[in-house]
Chain A
Amino acid sequence: MAHIQLKNISKKFGNHTALTGLDLDIADGEFFVLLGETGAGKTTTLRMIAGLEKPSEGQVFIDGVDVADWGAAERDVALVLQQYSLYPRYTVRENLEFPLRPKIRRLPDAEISDRVARAARTLRIEHLLDRKTDRLSGGEMQRVSIGRAIVRKPRVFLMDEPLSALDAKLREALRTELKNLQMQLGATFLFVTHDQIEAMSMGDKVGVLNHGRIVQTGTPHEIYNNPRDTYVASFVGSPPMNLIDGKLVDNRAVMAPLNFELPLPGGARTSGATDGRPLVFGIRPEDVYLENGAPVEARVHDVENHGVEKILTLRVGDAMLRATVPARTDVEIEQPVRFAWNPDKVVLFDKSSGINLRHAG
């Protein structure tokens, strides 16, 4: 198990800059999720830790040792890829044995079969051991590929979107399994995904990556409730946080182009939130609620029924606002409703930089 540190990493592919000044610190035994859109540089980061890619600048440390000159084999990491990378023409058992068989670090046969059996039991693929890998379903293949990682007892597990090729039900099941596995092994995991639900549900810590830069690192709770800027606010959460332009006037949020206002007592206490400064008000859909006699009137533009709840799109003037309401709320499209927000949950961003005022301070 290991502690991983990236210091000021940059990576260029020709003229294209994939990563800029990346700093990352993954504690021993931590489940760290790197979250970002396609092309944000997540996979590049992972491959650099694995030793498949060399950084253009900066250093990678594993347990405090600079591993710049180490190859993939010496770094002793396991990598699980989205495309499984099972060795074709071999059975599941042979695939699991593969990392244990090379002559140089050949383990005794008893040890090999013991480890394979244990990995198979953990992942519940014992009945598949003698099957060829091309006769497996996607979920089974992914388990085998995870199994190939765990038989070796590597120092770090690197996972590159291992679940994104699976269907929704299986993804959910494997999500829980992976998290359990990590706790069971007490291993350091670096998990890369573009799926914010995976990030929130699995990570001890989440790093949000945007255009090759880490925007914010923190616990899922911090990322969700106190996003560092409007990018994180709109990327994390489904539906995303509502972002409305406006300014603060006498403890009220006055939405500039839309001409509605909501009370925000104590809003001025946030440093830098002076009256009249152009701001963006962020509010999660679940903190917007419908109430008779609430301050603002809107029309219901759209209703999405999710079973446990309904996501309403409210129209105020030209702006759309999402609100999560209990499923039993009875609304119809175009029905006028009144809504308010939970002022304690409002996040203030600077209009021009998009930075959360609490972080800027």
Chain B
Amino acid sequence: MATAVMTTLDPNSRSAARGMSDLTIRNLFIIPTIVFLIVFNIFPLLYSLGYSFTDFRASSPAPANFVGLQNYRELLNDPFIWSNFAITAKYVIVSVVGQVIVGFGVALLLNRDIPLKGLLTTLLLLPMMLSMAVVGLFWKLLYDPSFGIINYTLGLASFEWLSNPDMALYAVAITDIWMWSPFVMLLSLAGLSAVPKHLYEAAAIDRAGSFYTFFRITLPLVAPILMIAIIFRTMEAFKTFDLAYILTSQPTTEVISIRLYKMAFQEWQTGRSCALAYIVLIMILAITNIYVKYLNKVKER
């Protein structure tokens, strides 16, 4: 392949005139990206791995002492950390399930010949394009107990969405569902429109009812792409920070990234927070791996 590309370099081209080989050109394109990745991703990743074994505090001039696995041991034995994980898990489940139900449902509604389908789809995608901070700020207004439009429309008087400890996490999840259902919808719509129409006709001829057709034809064919949407959304929901941070500051909404943020930048336990970040990373990797395994199984079937 590489040699084939080399030989096709036009000898009259300007690059050739400057004496650049194909290899040089290739490097010109690739090296900046690699440098960027190393400086901003790989290096901090490894550097923080080093810190996670120390008692380093970025706020103090004291040198870092190597403490071995102490940070990890303490974190994994800390019941507060586990409660943060439990909150995160609850949040991930509520929000991803909600997004799949709403997103896939809307996709099913849109997957037919309706007027203005294109415009409608574009409008439905809007929430996804807004910035997290903006969404957080205006949902805070919508949820406001005294003048918020949500209570006004639902006739809930002064129901406390965000300052009620039992409700706050769900309120954050609802906002997340509003914002990211369009993403699930978009992917589902792609999957749904890829189901050949003649299969539905064959099923109609075979006298299959609409439920039977849905579960035996539509769902199995859309499952792989729906799975991909779920993987993306789970990963995102697991590391949610901005929405929860902006909307509320309840202890019941302290998802793991908020805990991490506080530990790193308010309590300045840099070494410890690096260890926690690594624990989160490993968890996300593990969950994603389970999904990918399952995805491959779905695809194979």
CA A89 – CA B217 in complex, angstroms?
Answer: 9
The smallest beta-carbon distance between B193 and chain A, in angstroms, is 16
- Interface pair B207/A99, CB less than 8 Å apart: yes
B112 lies within 8 A of chain A by Cβ: no
Chain B residues whose CB sits within 8 angstroms of the CB of A85 once the complex forms = 196, 198-199, 201-202
* Interchain CB contact under 8 A, A79 and B207: no
A 21-40 to B, binary, CB cutoff 8 A, 1 in contact else 0: 00000000000000000000
Count of residues in A whose CB is under 8 Å from the partner chain: 25
A104 touches B301 (CB 8 A): no
B114 interface residue per 8 A CB criterion: no
Among B196, B199, B206, the most chain A Cβ lie within 10 Å of the Cβ of: B206
Q: Mark B206-222, 1 if CB is under 8 A from A, else 0.
A: 11110010001100110
Is there contact, CB below 8 Å, between B207 and A89?
no
Q: By the criterion CB–CB under 8 Å, are A52 and B301 in contact?
A: no
Chain B residues within an 8 Å CB radius of A16: none
- Which of A51, A71, A73 has the largest number of chain B CB atoms within 10 A? A73
Please determine whether B198 and A102 come into contact, CB atoms closer than 8 angstroms. Answer: no
User: How many angstroms from the CA of A92 to the CA of B209 in the assembled complex?
Assistant: 21
A77 CB within 8 Å of chain B? yes
Chain A's closest residue to B298 (CB) is A89
Question: In the complex, A236→B209 CA distance in Å?
Answer: 42
Q: A87-B217, A89-B220, A89-B301 in contact; A103/B204 too (CB < 8 A)?
A: no
Name B198's contact: one of A83, A99, A104 (CB within 8 Å): A83
* Cα–Cα, bound, A110→B59 (Å): 76
B205 interface residue (CB < 8 Å to A): yes
- A95 smallest CB distance to B (angstroms): 10
Residue A78 is within 8 A (CB to CB) of chain B in the complex: yes
A145 CB to closest chain B CB (Å) equals 8
Contact of B205 among A50, A83, A103, A104 (CB under 8 A): A50
Partner-A contacts on B (CB < 8 A) = 196, 198-199, 201-209, 212, 216-217, 220-221, 301
A→B interface (CB under 8 Å): 50-52, 71-73, 76-79, 81, 83, 85, 87-89, 98-99, 101-105, 148, 152
